[in-house]
């Protein structure tokens, strides 16, 4: 009986007594730095259905740290004139092309069996894609250099790491993970909406792979205030599909 009780107590020792959230975050940062050592830039091809877009990251010394900054396509074009077409013009042209294609494709779909339903779905889909393309054209003309955003993101991660506690070890699919959670995150810098509203972080959880120390899941609760009204926001990001690219681990989303 005593042996059984001793074994039970041993198995239920809190994980926090073995390793703190801060120690786990330190290990994650060390492993990330080791993977990034010797790498000055990299490109990720982002795919969304029929559309693909390159995301170019470049290492810079920002706020006293070596950080990877997402370089806007417009900036890359200025460095290498003629290497790529104007991204704003490409996005605007794509929107116009989608508008022109929508009518003929709707008529073709309507003539097919069950085409009325698919035609309506296709119309909605192409309208959404055209709207997205126009928004991309406007954003590309006014995008910042992302340096301030990169610094703010790093500061936010540092604040989370300093305030996090270890909830315990859990499983996501077949992966063992550390569940870290932090509250009182109202001072974490967030990108704010253009309409004068204010978004505030409330709390956040991160599930770090217990072997590779990369995020497997992120969950954030925020509050959006506008004209005295408060709307709760929840953002969840699943990062279960990592691929080895050189020394880097790149997540699929």
Asked whether residue 154 is assigned to any structural domain, the reply reads: no
Note the pLDDT of residue 22: 96
Which positions ≥6 away from 83 have C-beta within 8 Å? 76, 77
164 by Cβ neighbours in 10 Å (0-12 / 13-18 / 19+) ranks as buried
- 168 & 43 share domain: yes
In a domain, 9, yes or no: no
Q: Within this chain, do residues 244 and 191 fall inside the same structural domain, yes or no? A: yes
Range of the domain at 117: 79-142
**Does the residue 244 lie in any domain?**
yes
CB atoms within 10 A of CB 88: 19
**Domain for residue 116, yes or no?**
yes
127 and 176 share one domain: no
Q: Which segments of 112-214 are extended strands (E)?
A: 165-172, 175-182, 198-209
pTM of model > 0.75:
no
Domain identity same for 29 and 90? no
Among the three residues 93, 109, 142, which one is the final residue of a domain in this structure? 142
Q: pLDDT tens, 38-96?
A: 899 888 877 766 677 778 889 999 988 889 898 887 787 777 765 555 555 555 555 55
Q: Is residue 31 a part of any domain in this protein?
A: yes
CB 225 within 8 A of CB 202: no
238 in a domain, yes or no?
yes
* Residue 65 domain-assigned (yes or no): no
In a domain, 119, yes or no: yes
pLDDT recorded at residue 9: 40
Q: Are residues 187 and 241 in the same domain?
A: yes
The more confidently predicted of residues 84 and 4 is: 84
Domain count, the chain: 2
Query: Tens digit of pLDDT for each residue in 182-227?
Result: 998 988 878 787 777 888 999 999 999 999 999 999 999 999 998 8
């Amino acid at each position: 009986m005593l042996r059984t009780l001793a074994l039970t107590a041993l198995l239920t020792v809190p994980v926090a007594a073995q390793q703190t959230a801060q120690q786990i975050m330190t290990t994650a940062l060390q492993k990330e730095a080791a993977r990034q050592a010797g790498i000055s830039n990299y490109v990720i091809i982002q795919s969304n259905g029929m559309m693909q877009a390159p995301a170019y990251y470049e290492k810079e010394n920002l706020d006293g740290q070596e950080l990877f900054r997402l370089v806007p396509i417009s900036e890359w074009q200025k460095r290498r004139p003629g290497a790529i077409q104007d991204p704003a013009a490409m996005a605007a042209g794509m929107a116009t092309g989608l508008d022109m294609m929508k009518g003929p494709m709707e008529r073709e779909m309507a003539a097919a069996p069950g085409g009325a339903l698919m035609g309506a779905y296709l119309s909605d889909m192409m309208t959404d894609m055209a709207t997205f393309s126009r928004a991309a054209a406007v954003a590309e003309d006014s995008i910042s250099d992302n340096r301030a955003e990169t610094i703010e993101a790093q500061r936010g991660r540092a604040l989370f790491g300093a305030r996090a506690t270890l909830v315990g070890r859990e499983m996501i699919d077949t992966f063992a993970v550390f569940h870290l959670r932090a509250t009182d995150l109202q001072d974490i810098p967030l990108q704010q909406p253009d309409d004068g509203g204010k978004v505030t972080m409330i709390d956040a959880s991160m599930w770090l792979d217990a072997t590779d120390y990369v995020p497997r899941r992120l969950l954030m609760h925020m509050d959006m205030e506008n004209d005295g009204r408060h709307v709760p926001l929840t953002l969840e990001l699943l990062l279960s599909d990592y691929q080895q690219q050189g020394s880097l681990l790149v997540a699929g989303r």
